[in-house]
Copies of this chain bind each other. A is one copy, B any other.
Amino acid sequence: MSGAAPPRRVAVLGVGNMGWPMAARLVGAGFDVAAFDALPDRAARFAGEVGGTAAGSAASAARGADAVITVLPTSKHVGEAIAAMGDALSPGALLIEMSSGVPTATRGFAEALAARGVSTIDAPVSGGVPRARTGELAIIVGGEAADLARADPLLRAMGTTVTHVGGVGAGQAMKALNNLVSAAGFLIGAEALLIGQRFGLDPALMVDVLNASTGMNNSTQKKFAQFVLSRRFDAGFGLDLMVKDLSVALEVGRETATPTPFAALCREMWASAATLLGPGQDHTAMAQFSERLAGETLGGGNRISG
């Protein structure tokens, strides 16, 4: 498939919070976009407000498309969309799976589609809605080099960095594992700050010392002072999304038979926090979970009653 012409007709399945601005970037870059969404009227609104055409079904969107982009909640939805497209996803087409899906599920889709002459790459994104709007997403891609080359013009319209990390599924695995390391760094930071504060240290000063030493990580640099000690808890990445990525990371661990006790506890604690703190939380609210186990608020210095 190397040397194939770049895609011109693009179906985007899922024009929700993320899919909408991503598809809008494609329209803006001159691609012929057919949008579909499970929510009635959503695609029509997109076509009316942004451009392109609204499709009444995934199959109708996919028919004649050079590339189909999925931006859906889970791999289960992606599987259903593939089933719904049926033969409308035709030989020679390229599926670009941009959801935060399960890498092994994506591999399964890719194998099944390959038998029908459809190529697949996975291309999960980071940066949230703001960077989706400005086309500055960070995109991590898994797939064959030739397929990646075909997708490149589309990806460049949506993101500023496109990093190729391996075969199909590798992008989603890498994204989930990155968030695993990030989540662990945040959690241990919260616990360390709580121990220190109860011993009498100032948490803001502790953050500074960590950042000047080997305790430095992304959370000590960009999250604790900004979102926890300030009690703002509005970093812009949801607690539920972090839990989802941690679950994906651990599922890859399970399917590759890789025992990882520390990662497993990390996931369970984040998932526990999501239950205990309730829906709609920013991921930095995870610190409140540690605070409740320890009975003290970071920065405030007040004891929490039981």
The residues of A with any CB-CB pair to B shorter than 8 Å are: 103, 126, 138, 140, 161, 163, 165-167, 169-170, 173-174, 177-182, 184-185, 187-189, 191-192, 194-196, 198-202, 205-206, 209-210, 212-220, 247, 249, 251-254, 256-269, 271-272, 275-279, 290, 292-296, 305-306
Contact = CB atoms under 8 A, between A and B. Distances in A.
Q: 6 tightest A-B contacts by CB?
A: A278-B306, A217-B217, A181-B215, A184-B188, A198-B256, A178-B215
A115 to B, nearest CB: 17
Given A259-B268, A260-B294, A262-B269, 17 more contacts: A165-B201, A165-B202, A166-B205, A170-B201, A177-B195, A178-B215, A180-B215, A181-B217, A182-B215, A184-B188, A184-B262, A195-B258, A199-B256, A217-B218, A259-B269, A259-B293, A278-B305
A79 B195 CA distance: 24
Given A165-B201, A209-B140, A185 B196 contact: no
A174 B195 contact: no
B165 A177 contact: no
Nearest to A173: B199
Contacts of A126: 213-214
A181 B261 contact: no
A177 B163 contact: no
Nearest to A177: B192
A129 to B, nearest CB: 17
Contacts of A200: 166-167, 169-170
24 contacts: A163-B209, A165-B209, A166-B201, A169-B200, A173-B199, A174-B201, A174-B209, A177-B201, A177-B206, A178-B192, A178-B210, A180-B215, A181-B217, A182-B213, A185-B185, A185-B188, A187-B262, A191-B258, A214-B218, A216-B217, A217-B217, A247-B254, A278-B305, A279-B306
Nearest to A268: B261
